[in-house]
Amino acid sequence: MATKTFDEQIINYVKDTNLKHIAVIMDGNRRWAKERNLPSAFGHKKGVESLKRVMRACDDFGVKYLTVYAFSTENWNRKKEEVDFLMDLLGQTIKNELNEMHKNGVVINFIGDLSKLNPKLQEILANAVDVTKNNSGVRLQIAFNYGARDEIVHAVKEIANRVKEGKVRVEDINENLISDNIYTRTIPDPDLLIRTGGEMRVSNYLLWQIAYSEFYVTKMLWPDFDKEALAKAIEDFHSRQRRYGK
């Protein structure tokens, strides 16, 4: 019997576990740069390369949904120079990579409060969503100006307005209704949450959605994360027994 290839083995792990959605906290860009005596901008740029590698790996392995934490609501507290750089990096990356991602069938979406971004950047993001909306490849959600508590507050306000308008009764409010009013309502909850950089916290990320996600933490910094590292996380996930409280 022929030995299975690396990709085939991981593909089988994905199928065996019905792994559909991976969420990632991309931590360690600044530390990666600091270790090399480089400005943080170099780490963030390397982080973009890692995202491209992981996105291609998800396509190779048959993972349909990838959600990444790019900029949190708390990141506004960083130095203005770094915030401005991250805003520009997102816009430039989307413009530079859009054609290739579209060609590869990627569906691009953004979750978070985009109203706080400058109009030019909002236009770039909206165009990427529109151009790729009919694709059938990996669905990439980029969490930008995102905070899970902010997301839940937004959902509560939406439901409260519908109650006020008489469209929803208080007794009709349940988990499904809340899930229908969060940013990720059109996709399944993450099966696996990966955090690079070794920190053991979720940092206000997808708090509602990760109720039964499996966590995988690696000390590897995000700019070093690649296809092999993703495969290792999937292999670890395959060894878990998901009980869902049973």
- Catalytic center residues: 27, 75
Structure-token match 């609501």, residue found: 73
Question: CA end-to-end span of the chain, whole Å?
Answer: 38
Q: 27 and 222 in contact (C-beta within 8 Å)?
A: yes
- Residue 100 is encoded by which pair of tokens? 């290739």
Structure-token match 């009919």, residue found: 134
What's the farthest any 2 CA atoms get from each other in the chain? 65
Structure-token match 């170099």, residue found: 42
CA 64 to each of CA 10, 67, 141, 188, 244: distance values in angstroms, whole numbers, following the listed order: 14, 10, 11, 10, 22
Sheet holding 21-25, edge to edge: 107-111, 139-146, 65-72, 21-25, 192-195, 214-217
Alpha carbon 134 to chain centroid, angstroms:
20
Structure-token match 């590869």, residue found: 104
